Amino acid sequence: MRILLTGSNGLLGQKLVQLLLQQPAVELIATSRGQNKLAERYPAMRFLPLDVTDQMQVQEVIATEKPTHLIHTAALTQVDECELNQEECWRQNVTAVQYLVEACAAHHVHLLHVSTDFVFSGEKGPLTEEDEPGPINFYGQSKLAAEQLVQASTCQWAILRTVLVYGTAHDYGRTNIVVWVRDSLRAGKPIKVVSDQFRTPTLAEDLAQGCWLAAKHQATGIYHLSGEEVLTPYEMALQVADYFQLDKSLITQVDASSFTQPAKRPPRTGFIIRKAQHDLGFQPHSFTQGIALLDRQLA
């Protein structure tokens, strides 16, 4: 099995590198824009610079490397940035997928495409793979358009949707809810946390495991990969405070309307993951177990 990975410098990409390098039956070709952030950690890893928005590069790399599977994790995922810079969002999240789909179809590559709960409106949840999408922000629109390109492809494909991914990675600039809450409370800083949005938070290691299982099982169709617990960010913050034995009185619950953000957020998503559990053997950590894992990693 020869797996080409896009976005290997990102949070999910780094977790997939770590996991796939442990699989004896896998040859990994890691790709990302810019320099390889994991060069020191994994000096023997095969890495190629790849800009997925460059059609010629995409065709050349896939034709030369001849992967059996391609796991596509590269995307513009900052929701407000997508709303404010829609042309760039479309280029990275849709046009790039068109190029990958064409190349995978031409070379008979199994495409595993990572998508998001933001393809849904947020009117109800948790959601199954059969629920009807209806995005309410441009990020969600771009990811749904990408899903439609994948579904129309003649290559073998699987769409792997996920929810609110958290974790820690090497040289990764963005924070996550666990670290933000822990560090704020340790500093004695009061925080306001939304209590009217519902998600099933996903540990990055669990999502990587789900991607690998989908590749290993030659999965086709749509799969929901996330944690099982439906939680609000406020409830997540309370669990973080409990785990680290910090002062919960510093946490104030607020409505999403308290924050001015360019992009709307779906109020209620979260996933029902029975299909992935049954078909793939997917078993995610609980949120408390995820916090404990991050604690060990950050130590």
pLDDT tens string 229-260:
999 999 999 999 999 999 999 999 999 999 99
Range 198-218 average pLDDT = 98
- 127 part of a folded domain: yes
Q: What confidence category does residue 93 fall into, taking pLDDT thresholds of 50, 70 and 90?
A: very high
Q: Enumerate residues 6+ apart whose C-beta is below 8 A from 22.
A: none
> How many domains, in total, are found in the chain?
1
Reported as a single tens digit per residue, the pLDDT across 54-76 is 999 999 999 999 999 999 999 99
- 195 part of a folded domain: no
Is the peptide bond prior to 126 cis by the omega test (within 30 degrees of 0)?
A: yes
Please state, in angstroms and rounded to a whole number, the distance separating the CA atoms of residues 299 and 106: 46
Quote the percentage of the chain above a pLDDT of 90. 97
Reported as a single tens digit per residue, the pLDDT across 104-149 is 999 999 999 999 999 999 999 999 999 999 999 999 999 999 999 9
Question: What is the C-alpha R_g of the chain?
Answer: 19
- 296 part of a folded domain: no
- 252 part of a folded domain: no
- 64 part of a folded domain: yes
Q: Does residue 215 register a pLDDT over 90?
A: yes
- 278 part of a folded domain: yes
Three-state SS for 237-298 is: HHHHHHHHCCCHHHEEEECHHHCCCCCCCCCECCECCHHHHHHHCCCCCCHHHHHHHHHHHH
- CATH number, domain of 50, equals 3.40.50.720
- 114 part of a folded domain: yes
User: What is the domain range of residue 154?
Assistant: 2-167+201-228+271-285
Q: What confidence category does residue 174 fall into, taking pLDDT thresholds of 50, 70 and 90?
A: confident
- 246 part of a folded domain: no
Q: Does residue 81 register a pLDDT over 90?
A: yes
